Amino acid sequence: MVLTSNLKLLLIFLVLSAFTSPIFVLRVRASSESVAASAVNQAEQALASAYEAVLEAERTGVNVSGLLARLNEAGELLARAHVSYGLGDFDGAARSADLCGQIGEEVRVEAHGLRSLAVEEVVQRFRWTMIGSILSVTVIVGAGFLGWRMFKLRYCRRVLGMKPEVAKDES
């Protein structure tokens, strides 16, 4: 009985020693470091992709001020993640990076949606502008042709209606 309880105590001691050993602590630390590095890397990519999506949306005429404000929040989180990572606070870095990645992804999706809407609008506007231009050009060409014909007719009539005058030669 006593032997069994002693064995149990020894086992608990060995397990605790293993958990607190430098090798175990170092391994856990390395693991959290790699997790944080991966999270920061992913957050960087998410923010860059979101920025590129916002830029494309902006080029199609979308007002991106709201999207930029949210990306600035993500940028602050990413900067915090970098600073935390540099100081060895890997948990804090991973937390900030994850939040940044989430915001970046949301903004990217929203920017793509807004861009699609804007592209449709631009195509529609282009169509109507082109129809307007074609109609205007047709009217101008037609009116110009008719106007020229009428002008030429009047001009010829006026010229033909002129009576030649005979001037005296006084020399």
The radius of gyration of the chain's CA atoms, rounded to the nearest angstrom, is: 40
153 binds another protein, rule: CB under 8 A: no
Residue type at 113 in one-letter notation? G
Question: Contact with another protein (CB under 8 A): which of 109, 140, 150, 153?
Answer: 140
User: Which of residues 12 and 100 has its CB atom nearest to another protein in the complex?
Assistant: 100
CA distance 162 to 25: 114
User: Which of residues 113 and 144 has its CB atom nearest to another protein in the complex?
Assistant: 144
Q: Which stretch binds another protein (CB under 8 A): 11-19, 27-35, 151-159, 161-169?
A: 151-159
CA distance 160 to 24: 114
Minimum Å gap between C-beta 143 and another protein is 9
96 HSE (CA, 13 A, CB side): 21
Q: Which ranges constitute the DSSP H helices of the chain? A: 2-20, 22-59, 65-86, 90-160
Report the b/e string of 117-136 with b at 16+ CB within 10 A: ebeeeeeeeeeeeeeeeeee
Question: Contact with another protein (CB under 8 A): which of 46, 78, 93, 118?
Answer: 78
103 binds another protein, rule: CB under 8 A: no
Minimum Å gap between C-beta 64 and another protein is 6
In Å, how far are 90, 105, 126 from 119, measured between CA atoms? 42, 21, 10
Residue type at 26 in one-letter notation? L
User: Which of residues 117 and 156 has its CB atom nearest to another protein in the complex?
Assistant: 156
12 binds another protein, rule: CB under 8 A: no
Minimum Å gap between C-beta 133 and another protein is 4
Residue 146, token pair as written in the block: 């008719």
Cα 153 versus chain centre, distance: 61
Question: Contact with another protein (CB under 8 A): which of 54, 93, 97, 99?
Answer: 54
Binding site for another protein (CB under 8 A): 47-48, 51-52, 54-55, 58-59, 64-65, 68, 71-72, 75-76, 78-79, 82-83, 87, 122, 125-126, 129-130, 132-133, 136-137, 140-141, 144, 147-148, 151-152, 155
